[in-house]
Amino acid sequence: MIGVILENKLSKVLDEAVGYGNVTSERVRNSVSGYIRKDVETAESIIEETSAVNEESYRIEDECLKIIGLHQPVAKDLRLASAILRTSIELERINILSAYIARYAIDSAETVIPPHIEFMSQTVQDMINDALGALMNMDIQLLKRSTKNYLQLQEFYNQLHDSQGEFMESGNLVLVARNLLSMGHHVMGMDDRIAYLIVGKRVIHHKVFYSVLMK
């Protein structure tokens, strides 16, 4: 009976974390779209909604801590609770970065936005969605794809820096690009804990992930 209660609670909070992640992915898309189109209305909406959206993160964190404290799960159940907890924390940080990008949309002085920004945005969204799929379905292939995309994200950033030269150091373009790169880093934090959930190995850095899981 206790096992069933624990399973139900974990399933419920997992669904909530995935829903929160879907909202986060959509906010990444909207914040970058607002920056590219200089859509002040969308940008202001994203900024204003950030605190309310991230209340879900705090609620998920509280629920995970209650599950760990009250039910004292072990083995895979403990790893799942830990993965959900880490995921909610990283998603919260991504939501805050989306608000930063929205702020740059309001203050933007750039007349032309290189396509790399949209490419980076889509890559971050893909990373989030694949990580959530891996968490929900215990799918190592989705997890590998999420992690591999971080290299693509870095490549887009480097291409942008090389192509724009000194322009990258002026205006908000460099800040938007760096925030998107930081988002990818936070998804890697999710991937690290999801990898531990699926394979039972601690992965401290993504290079270790490649050497251990992607041979």
- Among 1-5, 107-111, 124-128, 207-211, name the one with the lowest average pLDDT: 207-211
- Is the model more confident about 213 or about 18? 18
Q: Count other Cβ atoms within 10 Å, centred on residue 39.
A: 18
Judged against a pLDDT cut of 70, whether residue 208 lies above it is answered with: no
What amino acid is encoded at 12 in this protein? K
DSSP per residue, 59-96: HHHHHHHHHHHHH---HHHHHHHHHHHHHHHHHHHHHH
The answer to whether the CB of 64 falls within 8 A of the CB of 13 is yes
pTM of the predicted model as reported, rounded to 2 decimal places? 0.92
CA 54 from centre of chain: 13
Torsion of CA 186, 192, 197, 203, to 10 degrees: -160
pLDDT bin (cut points 50, 70, 90) of residue 112 is confident
Q: Which residue range(s) make up the domain with 186?
A: 2-213
Task: Determine the Cα–Cα distance for residues 76 and 3; give it in Å rounded to an integer.
Answer: 13
**Mean pLDDT for all residues in the chain:** 90
- Where helices occur in the chain by DSSP H, the ranges are 2-37, 40-71, 75-107, 116-137, 140-164, 173-199, 206-213
Q: What angle in degrees, to the nearest 10, is found between the helix axes of 173-199 and 2-37?
A: 160
pLDDT at 166 (0 to 100): 58
Question: pLDDT of 81-102, one tens digit each?
Answer: 999 999 999 999 999 999 999 9
Report the percentage of the chain scoring pLDDT > 90.
75
CATH number at residue 171: 1.20.58.220
pLDDT at 167 (0 to 100): 57
Question: pLDDT of 45-76, one tens digit each?
Answer: 999 999 999 999 999 999 999 999 998 888 99
Tell the residue number behind the tokens 């403990």, with chain if given.
Answer: 78
Q: Total structural domains in the chain?
A: 1
Task: Determine the Cα–Cα distance for residues 6 and 198; give it in Å rounded to an integer.
Answer: 19
